[in-house]
Chain A
């Protein structure tokens, strides 16, 4: 690590990630992985579980940064630790294998990670609903919407791919698909809410 790469301070990390700098993200990821991995392994987790938990934790952090809603009152390290600790605790309870105190090796501070996690969970639920709605919408709507929104393809590209006569046709098709998706999505989402 660090060979020929600039090393960032916490503020620089946040600024770089906000700009969408993938190298900063990669470095951040590498920097704190051993800590979380050690923590999870210490508390009866496996290597793969450690990776999962850490990725989720980084996602929460990343999305907060991209939102611009991050108010970092502590080091990134501490924040990540708090988030991952919380996530791992949840997993352990789900596995019902957890019967005792967690073995902390970093000081555990109140970092606002709890509240962030609630939001993240809410967002996860929404994404899960969206994924399901996309599953159920059927072709060609699914490919079209995925192409446009998820894979960032341009309308021209999609027109060519799906064999529409012109971009307007494709656009109209897209709007129709959106209407259908909306029905599926909101039905399920509201169902879930109530």
Chain B
């Protein structure tokens, strides 16, 4: 009886072709007859086959590792400064700019390589967040202003006028007369009027909104520097005070302020500076509430223009009943003016709060009973351009 090892010896010889022809035919005959023997042969073959293949696999792994090690070594050489010293011109190629990469830089590069996409997304989100915040704040600020949809405040942008002035200057130059040097016109302008004889003025809040400095210009081109004393955003009011030492006072004010409310249908008029010159406009008091039912305002049927803001609104008897604020865009000649009662309330509360400064409001009215041109002649020295510099 043969042992398994003996069979293996036989198979080995059979496979390597060392077996003599008669023995071989004998074995083949037996393999065909005996399935047990055939299974044994196949087992043997699986075993040796796997072993050989395993050997090859290990050899291959060694080979690949060697190749990889070669490549790594080349990489290291390329990165080391020695390579920079040794001229590589002999190969005909221009030498690559060699980089000395430190340990930390290598780590940083790896980090960059693997997290690049994430970081870019994060960066764009950050950028978008910044812009969204800026735009949102801008929008919010716009909402804070009394100018709502359909409501236009009436401060005048001076740039447009400047442009027309430049055109005019050009025309003058062509004629041959030297042009007058252009003065700084400021960015916006509106109208203001005297509140007291000692240098307090009233204008609309939106006229002086965002102002760095304010300049008051009277009809005879006298200029004074002014500072805002108090502002009321809700009623679009601002009280200014002239700071110039050369200012001597307005003199006696011809008009008085009405503390109560005026009646519907009352004939009213305003003076203002929508252009470089004083402009008169009149109309009627059309409603006792303003834009969207705001009871702090009157609606008036006076055609007003940018620049009229902050102008005085007077009735026939020369009472000051309001301050021009804005107009509704989609309605024909619907302008709005802050009620003088709110101005009075504001002045009263300021007088109460500040013990040192009293507001000496005019008591007597010199305009009552006179004709309108006469009223205006008296009034015009108390209406000013308010120039705003940002």
Residues of A participating in the B interface, judged by any CB pair closer than 8 Å: 3, 22, 25-26, 29-30, 33, 41-42, 44-47, 51, 55, 58-59, 62-63, 66, 103, 123, 126-127, 130-131, 145, 149-152, 171-172, 175-176, 178-179, 181-182, 185-186
A62 neighbours in B (Cβ, 8 Å): 60
- Alpha-carbon gap, A47 to B114, bound state (A): 11
Residue of B6, B44, B50, B110 touching A127 (CB-CB under 8 A): B50
B47→A123 contact, CB < 8 A: no
Question: What is the distance, in angstroms, from B121's C-beta to the closest C-beta of chain A?
Answer: 13
- Alpha-carbon gap, A126 to B57, bound state (A): 12
B113 neighbours in A (Cβ, 8 Å): 41-42
Given A41-B113, A149-B52, A175-B5, also A30-B57 (CB < 8 A): no
> Does B279 touch A at the CB level, under 8 Å?
no
Residue of A26, A41, A127 touching B114 (CB-CB under 8 A): A41
Question: What is the distance, in angstroms, from A57's C-beta to the closest C-beta of chain B?
Answer: 10
Chain B interface mostly: helix
Closest to B43 in A: A182
Question: What is the distance, in angstroms, from A146's C-beta to the closest C-beta of chain B?
Answer: 8
A127→B54 contact, CB < 8 A: yes
Number of cross-chain contacts by CB at 8 Å: 87
Closest to A40 in B: B114
Closest to B55 in A: A150
A33→B71 contact, CB < 8 A: yes
CB 8 Å contact bits of B33-73 with A (1 = contact, 0 = none): 00000000001100110111111111011011101101100
A149→B64 contact, CB < 8 A: no
- Alpha-carbon gap, A169 to B3, bound state (A): 16
B9→A171 contact, CB < 8 A: yes
B63→A22 contact, CB < 8 A: yes
> Does B12 touch A at the CB level, under 8 Å?
yes
A150→B51 contact, CB < 8 A: yes
A26 neighbours in B (Cβ, 8 Å): 63, 67, 70
Question: What is the distance, in angstroms, from A191's C-beta to the closest C-beta of chain B?
Answer: 16
Residue of A22, A58, A150, A179 touching B4 (CB-CB under 8 A): A179
**11 residue pairs A–B, Cβ–Cβ below 8 Å:** A26-B67, A29-B64, A29-B67, A42-B113, A51-B68, A66-B56, A123-B53, A130-B54, A149-B55, A150-B54, A172-B5
B4 neighbours in A (Cβ, 8 Å): 179
A176→B5 contact, CB < 8 A: yes
Given A41-B114, A172-B5, also A130-B63 (CB < 8 A): no
B53→A127 contact, CB < 8 A: yes
A175→B54 contact, CB < 8 A: no
Given A41-B113, A179-B8, also A145-B51 (CB < 8 A): yes
